[in-house]
Structure 1
Amino acid sequence: MTTASRAMDRLVGWPDLSEARPSCGTGRALRTSDTEIAHFHSDRKVDLNLTARAIRRLEGDLRNSTAIRLVPGSHWVTIRLECASDIDLLMTLVSAALKAHQGCPASDRPSSARCNDQHSTVLAPEHVGAG
Structure 2
Amino acid sequence: MTLASRAFAQLATWPDLRHAVPSCGLGRAVSSAQGEIAHFHSERDVDLRLTDRAIRRFAKDLRGSGAIRIVPGSQWLTLRLDAASDVDLLLTLVSAALQAQQACPDAVGRTVAGCNDQRGAGFVKADLGGI
Give distance in 2, aligned partners of 1:122 and 1:71.
Answer: 9
Query: How far apart, CA to CA, are the structure 2 residues paired with 1:10 and 1:105?
Result: 24
Q: Is the 8 A contact 2:48 2:77 kept in 1?
A: yes
Structure 1 spans left out of the alignment, 5+ residues: 125-131
Runs (4 or more) in structure 1 with deviation over 2 Å come to 120-124
Partner residue, 1:65: 65
Unaligned residue ranges in structure 2 (runs of 5+): 125-131
How far did residue 121 of structure 1 move? 3.8
Residue in structure 2 matched with residue 30 of structure 1 by the alignment: 30
Secondary structure of the residue aligned to 1:107 is coil
Assess if the C-alpha contact under 8 Å between 2:20 and 2:31 holds in 1: yes
Aligned pairs for 1:73-112 (under 5 A) are 73-107=73-107, 110-112=110-112
* Corresponding residue number in structure 2 for 1:129: none
- The equivalences for 1:110-121 within 5 A come to 110-121=110-121
Change (3 A) 1:45 1:122: closer
Superposition deviation, residue 103 in structure 1:
1.1
Residues 19, 31 of structure 1: 8 Å contact kept = yes
State the one-letter code of the partner of 1:68.
I
Aligned-pair Cα RMSD in Å:
1.8
C-alpha separation in 1, matches of 2:52 and 2:109: 9
Q: Conserved in 2, the CA contact under 8 Å of 1:70 and 1:123? A: no
Identical-residue share of aligned pairs (%): 60
Q: Alpha-carbon deviations, 1:25-83, whole Å to 9, x = none? A: 00000001220000000000000001111000001100000100011100010000011
Q: Residues of 2 paired with 1:122 and 1:9: CA distance?
A: 22
Cα distance, 1:11–1:119 mapped onto 2, change above 3 Å: same
Question: Residue 45 of structure 1 corresponds to which residue in structure 2?
Answer: 45
Higher alpha-carbon Rg: 2
Name the TM-score, length of structure 2 as normaliser. 0.88
Task: Please state whether the residue corresponding to 2:107 is helix, strand or coil.
Answer: helix
Q: Is the 8 A contact 1:50 1:97 kept in 2?
A: yes
Alignment of 1:7-26 (within 5 A): 7-26=7-26
